[in-house]
Amino acid sequence: MRVVILGAGFGGLEAARAMAGAPVEITLVDRHNHHLFQPLLYQVATAALSPGDIAWPIRTIFRRQRNLRTVLAEVTGIDAKARMVQAGDALAIPYDALVLATGASHSYFGHDEWAPVAPGLKTIEDATDIRRRLLLAFELAEVTEDAAERRRLLTFVVVGAGPTGVELAGAMVELARHAMPREFRRIDPAAARVVLVEAGPRVLPTFPEELGAIARRSLEAMAVQVLTDTRVTACTTSGVECGEERIPAGTIVWAAGVVASPAGAWIGAERDRAGRIQVGPDLSVHGMDGVYAVGDLAATKDAKGKAVPGTAPAAKQMGRYVGRLLAARAAGRPAPAAFAYRHHGDLATIGRRSAVVALDGIRLTGLIGWWFWGIAHVWYLIGFRSRIVVSFEWLWSYLTFQRGARLITGREPRGGNAARVPGHASVAQPPENRDTPADGSDGTRIHLSST
């Protein structure tokens, strides 16, 4: 059996691993050469970790799995009738079973024009771009003579108060307050203003309500300004507009929502409002024999009738299930029972020594929750080296308050915008990220050729 997996995110990775030793030929296709541990991506964006700490070459991960080959390519078409994946101008990959694991992209709710000024956080390119914008804001504030412009540059807005937004806001405060004291001569980095904007009534809306309230109090104790029931109506280079209220800001980060990659539309599959593919009990795509969808791309429900969340644990469970299903079929064994999602809990860190954890009926907060959050994330990293490096970086940061990855990288593209600081030389503004996939996913980009 020839199995093609599109996307080496959590779902694609687990599907491939589950077929190790099975009588199948696996082709894993991704436009990137690495697998990314997205839950810690915000720490790259806020200079706590380096990209290499949370990403690993795909070929290294599967170097011992002899029934798998890796293809670095951008998929340009899928011929479902001929069971063929097209990549580039000449590469054609036949399949007997196809696993779609192309992930999700940022959702701007119909305002995609906001993307250049309010980047989301899905890829390493996104994270290093946001890091560049954050660090440049302090540098620009240091040299400007305009007090109003300085306040704008030192205002950071995070849109969306889910786990990513909460963690970003807390990390931004720690970066300004603890990592930069006494390093600037004309500004006080601790005076930076961080604003967390949420359209709903509370932060962490998917968490138990009491934990959301604790998280909000912790954020406000860190001097994060939390605005709930506040809908963003415009994002510009000068700031954010929320109805009649305008917040001048130098840096805006989007964490308000995601939408499934266009894979479902390109193969003509039935989809929900978020673009996720409607799948059967075995995660197969309706009406398409041998095609499966996992992770953020799949719309399915748990035993209680609730939608399975678009989280890393859910993607891993789906990928593992499909991998075992295909391995069983290839070996002539009975297929496993229908997919059943098991929710392992919700975790979010708010800042130094503060986190909220919900595990079935167990609630952990504060320092205990923070330790549990850290241990859980280190445990799920790939490889002993990564666990040691990340643990050491966190320990060093905890003891010294330093951030070891404060590098401003990337160049202003030719013809890009430049802001002139009064009384000083022209200083380049952060560019729009040109390397991020248009669909924002950590998998592949595919276009329908024929069905």
Q: What is the DSSP string of 213-242?
A: HHHHHHHHHTT-EEE-S----EEETTEEEE
d(CA 439, CA 262): 7
Closest CA to 220 of 179, 166, 178: 166
Q: Considering the entire predicted model, what is its pTM?
A: 0.87
Closest CA to 41 of 177, 155, 171: 171
Q: Is the dihedral of CA 55, 58, 63, 65 positive or negative?
A: positive
Q: Is the dihedral of CA 52, 442, 64, 391 positive or negative?
A: positive
Neighbours of 308 (CB within 10 A): 20
d(CA 22, CA 401): 48
Please say whether the beta carbons of 121 and 29 come within 8 A: no
Model confidence pLDDT, tens digit, residues 63-73: 999 999 999 99
Query: Which pLDDT belongs to residue 290?
Result: 93
- What tokens were used for 151? 């306040």
Give the pairing of strands 277-278 and 291-293.
unpaired
User: Mean pLDDT of residues grouped by 10 in the chain (451 residues)?
Assistant: 96 97 96 95 94 95 96 88 87 95 90 95 95 96 96 97 96 92 91 96 94 96 96 96 95 92 84 90 92 94 88 95 97 94 92 89 92 92 89 84 82 44 38 38 38 32
- What tokens were used for 12? 């694609």
Closest CA to 171 of 340, 12, 2, 352: 352
Q: At what angle do helices 384-400 and 366-379 cross, to 10 degrees?
A: 150
d(CA 11, CA 310): 11
Query: Which pLDDT belongs to residue 385?
Result: 85
Query: Which pLDDT belongs to residue 428?
Result: 40
d(CA 198, CA 158): 9
90 burial via Cβ count (<10 Å: 0-12, 13-18, 19+): exposed
Element containing residue 13 per DSSP (H, E): helix 10-18
**Which residues are tagged catalytic?**
167
Element containing residue 399 per DSSP (H, E): helix 384-400
